Structure 1
Amino acid sequence: MKATPNNQAFFPLLLTFFFWGSVYVAGKMIAEDIPPQLLACLRCTVAMAPLLLMARGCLGTKIAREDWKYFGLVGFLGYFFTISLIQLGISLTGASMASLINALTPVSVTVMASLILKERITSTKVLCLVLALTGTAVVTSETDNQGDLLGIGVVLLAVLCWGAASVYMRRLTASYPPILVTTYSMAISLIFHIPAGIFSATHQPVVISPTAVAVVLYLGLIGSGLSQFTWTKCLSLLPASTCSLFYPLQPAFSALLGALILGEQFRPTFFIGLLLISADVILSAREAGRQAKENENSQKNN
């Protein structure tokens, strides 16, 4: 039987969201040993090795002068601020909770595209926003721990920042290879990561252990490097809206790994929130696919 793009993309999609889900558990494992900002810095530094390897074929691509500001925005908002906030959120709340809140990313991208690019807000997008807010409210309804609430707020801010960065990333990937955009933006983020990481290392205790070293390597090489390759591979086989349908797998994998490795326990509200946010992601992805088809048909007619 001849392999279809769907069949070819299925395994890389599973791997991608498993890697992304595992990042939260891995980060939580050493949250007490390495300050969040230093961990974010080390993660991005290590990630440059596989990214440069994957982007080596397009590093000679000429970048228009006016596009560098967008690379800067993606680097700062997406790969510095977002990753730093996520690592901080993981240290404050559970790995599964942070991953679940981060699953709202497709909705954040839709909202930010409407605000920044003035894309049309449809009734489906409004429903997605309602589901996202409801799912978040349900998850936090029984949370009485101040650290958890603060962690959830930090991750929500990270989701909004990544949504804004993704809008500018979409603009760049229309002209440049996605892996090149990721590599250059990650490199720019190090301009901010390195001084912030050094500052945190001098003001907070750092415990270097074999586990900490292994986790840092995993976060950089697998969580940020290999996962970027598998995600890019998926996007080359299927539309982004279809790939986004798998987003609910990220918190599901995090919950499974969190229970197995960290011994995390979940209240019923976590699973109710997971269902609501999953429905929200699926609706958002379907809406994105529908609009993409409309734009394609409109261009053909013109």
Structure 2
Amino acid sequence: MHTSERQTMRGYCALAAAASIWGGMYVVSKYTLDFIPPFTLLWLRYVTAFITLYPLAARQKTVPLTRSDHRAFIAVGFVGYFVSVGLQFIGTRLSSAHNGAILTSASPVFILLFAWLMLGERLIPRKLFSVLLASIGVIIVVGWDTTATGSRVLAGNLALIGAAVTWALLSVLARKFSASLSPLVITTGAIFWATLMTTPAMVIEWRFLPVSGLGNPVLWGAVLYLGVVSTAGAFYLWNKGMSLVEAGSGSVFFFLQPVVGALLGWLVLGEHLSLSFFVGGGVILLAVLIVSYRRA
């Protein structure tokens, strides 16, 4: 296997791991959001993640950061970690863990578009077919397995779609900035700025949404998991993967989220799954295999 092929395979493995972690994150978030409101939980996630990543990033970054570096951190932190993840938490609170994993998986469609517009990546048939096939898999699951209704769920679903669009923009920005900065440094710097941006929203939120269950050790275990694994670990893996492969090809791995998220939602939360989940999940996995296939 050539060096470039090994690099691509490493990127695919990193992206698959990140997407699988995030698929499980919706189940943990759904439990935690019953006690801690969205932006307060987001702030706790980012503080935990920054404490985890900063010693590693400081050791790796031996030259001073420039203004351009900080602009990159602010862009990634605002678009991806403040707006997108904030919308994910709001949407998951109002909707369900199942819908959270499914609807945000629309991101790859927008990643292809942004990668074409901002990075000049070609819209080759294999990428387009893989995204189309995976989108059909999502439609199968959503179209045949949607049981929740009401304005609250609708608002949550719209927030989740907004999260998908902004996460696509984040993914392309991470790919763009990785030319001059390591994924670890980008992730750490962006989380720092996202923490600052989240603080005012958290304080305003306290006026309307109470915090409860702080004496529950299981709740704090969930917060640590969200901060260390789902934020520090998965954000780094996603940015690392995006630095090793084309954004359009890597985007398809985002579709692994609904497979893991819906399955864990069924196992842990008792959310309903029908045969359509397994049919749609199989179609999504086939799309991932197609985009990963490299002819000799």
Rounded to whole Å, the distance in 2 between the matches of 1:116 and 1:165 is 12
Shift of 1:202: 2.2
Amino acid at match of 2:180: S
Shift of 1:262: 0.8
Rounded to whole Å, the distance in 1 between the matches of 2:119 and 2:195 is 28
Q: 1:183 aligns with which of 167, 174, 188?
A: 188
Equivalent residue runs for 1:82-121 within 5 Å? 82-121=84-123
Q: Against the structure 1 CA distance between its residues 18 and 114, is the aligned structure 2 distance closer, same or farther, given a 3 Å change threshold? A: closer
Larger deviation, residues 200-209 vs 146-155:
146-155
Q: Do the aligned residues in 1 keep the contact of 2:105 with 2:255 (CA within 8 Å)?
A: yes
Q: Report whether the alignment pairs 1:261 with 2:265.
A: no
Rounded to whole Å, the distance in 2 between the matches of 1:29 and 1:166 is 27
Rounded to whole Å, the distance in 1 between the matches of 2:191 and 2:103 is 23
Q: Do the aligned residues in 1 keep the contact of 2:77 with 2:194 (CA within 8 Å)?
A: yes
Residue 296 of structure 1 is matched in structure 2 by none
SS of the residue 1:195 aligns to: helix
Q: Against the structure 1 CA distance between its residues 253 and 136, is the aligned structure 2 distance closer, same or farther, given a 3 Å change threshold? A: closer
Residue 25 of structure 2 is matched in structure 1 by 23
SS of the residue 2:212 aligns to: coil
Q: Against the structure 1 CA distance between its residues 85 and 50, is the aligned structure 2 distance closer, same or farther, given a 3 Å change threshold? A: same
SS of the residue 1:83 aligns to: helix
Rounded to whole Å, the distance in 1 between the matches of 2:52 and 2:103 is 28
Q: Do the aligned residues in 1 keep the contact of 2:49 with 2:228 (CA within 8 Å)?
A: yes
Residue 43 of structure 1 is matched in structure 2 by 45
Rounded to whole Å, the distance in 1 between the matches of 2:269 and 2:130 is 32
Q: Against the structure 1 CA distance between its residues 8 and 173, is the aligned structure 2 distance closer, same or farther, given a 3 Å change threshold? A: closer
Residue 205 of structure 1 is matched in structure 2 by 210
Shift of 1:245: 6.4
Runs of 5+ unmatched residues, structure 2: none
Q: What RMSD in Å do the two structures reach over aligned CA positions?
A: 3.5
TM-score with structure 1 setting the length: 0.78
Q: Report whether the alignment pairs 1:165 with 2:170.
A: yes
Residue 300 of structure 1 is matched in structure 2 by none
Identity, % of aligned pairs?
A: 30
Shift of 1:153: 2.6
Kindly provide the CA deviation profile for residues 241-276 of structure 1, in whole angstroms up to 9, marking residues without a partner as x. Answer: 787665444333323322222111113333344344
Residue 274 of structure 1 is matched in structure 2 by 281
SS of the residue 1:203 aligns to: coil
Q: Against the structure 1 CA distance between its residues 274 and 108, is the aligned structure 2 distance closer, same or farther, given a 3 Å change threshold? A: farther
Q: Do the aligned residues in 2 keep the contact of 1:100 with 1:274 (CA within 8 Å)?
A: no
